[in-house]
Amino acid sequence: MAISFTELVDHIEYQLGFIGPASGYPEMAWDRSLNLVPWANQALQSFPLLKPRQEGYTLIETTHTIDMPADFVDIMSVEYPAHQEPPVYLFRLNYLEKGFYTSKQTFYDVDRNYLTGIGNVLIISTLLQIDDHLHVNYLKYHDHELLDNRTDEITVPDQYEDILITYVVAKAYRSLMTVYVADPTSHENLITEMVELIDQAETKYYKMIANLLSNTITGNSVIPPNRTVDKFDRVY
């Protein structure tokens, strides 16, 4: 069952020991709105199993190109013409290859939209005609501009919530480390302890990601080719 974004942030707070005076961290070390909510959204965007989506197109003009949606990350398949039985899926070929536009076989490719400088464009080798139908299956990031309420639900399957929490914990430790390093009254052993906590959190996160990527992909999410996990920003 999907959990709300607010529940995710609640769980992050709890994991950080954000449970009142008994907390082992300085009071209000991390602001929920200014820190935890943005970091939680970053964790959702960084999650390596992307969300599959299908978009249907009906042509209103002859063209070789179709603008991809703003949330496009990578292509999965192109069905053209659509609604055939069995379905007809195109092969991908670099559109700069000789014969892309002259072959009797129809190919597709994807590239940046250099005309507008924004987004991506699907390129079809055959000139598409008015009223032609296509189905494009592509990958998008999980929703990552969520609000701190119980209405917005995270689209990452809830069995992976621990990965999201661990990402934010590592971010939080690094943020706190910045405060300690900038404070001339901070004891050296406190800074050393924070370095160890950061290392433990980041190591745990990368191990969880490695285990995730090594397992069989579910029907809810897909790893695109060459997908990598960004390193945490160094803040000290």
Instruction: List, for residues 11-50, the tens digit of each pLDDT value.
Output: 998 888 754 333 444 554 788 899 999 999 999 999 988 8
Same domain, 43 and 155: yes
Residue 62 located in a structural domain: yes
Give, in degrees to the nearest 5, the angle at Cα 112 between 107 and 114.
115
Instruction: For residue 12, give its domain range.
Output: 5-49+146-214
Residue 187 located in a structural domain: yes
The Cβ of residue 66 has, within 10 Å, a number of other Cβ atoms equal to 19
What's the pLDDT tens digit per position in 72-130?
Answer: 999 999 999 999 999 999 999 999 999 999 999 999 999 999 988 899 999 999 999 99
What would you measure as the largest C-alpha separation in the chain, in angstroms? 74
Number of domains in the chain: 2
Same domain, 88 and 158: no
Partners of 92 in the β-ladder: 108
Local structure of residue 131 (DSSP, 8 states): T
Same domain, 132 and 72: yes
**Which of 140, 161, 195 is the last residue in one of the domains?**
140
What's the pLDDT tens digit per position in 139-188?
Answer: 988 989 899 988 889 989 889 999 999 999 999 888 887 777 766 666 67
Higher pLDDT, 195 or 227: 195
pLDDT band per the 50, 70, 90 thresholds, residue 222: low
**Which of 140, 160, 194 is the last residue in one of the domains?**
140
pLDDT at site 236: 32
Same domain, 55 and 99: yes
For the chain, the average pLDDT equals 84
Residue 71 located in a structural domain: yes
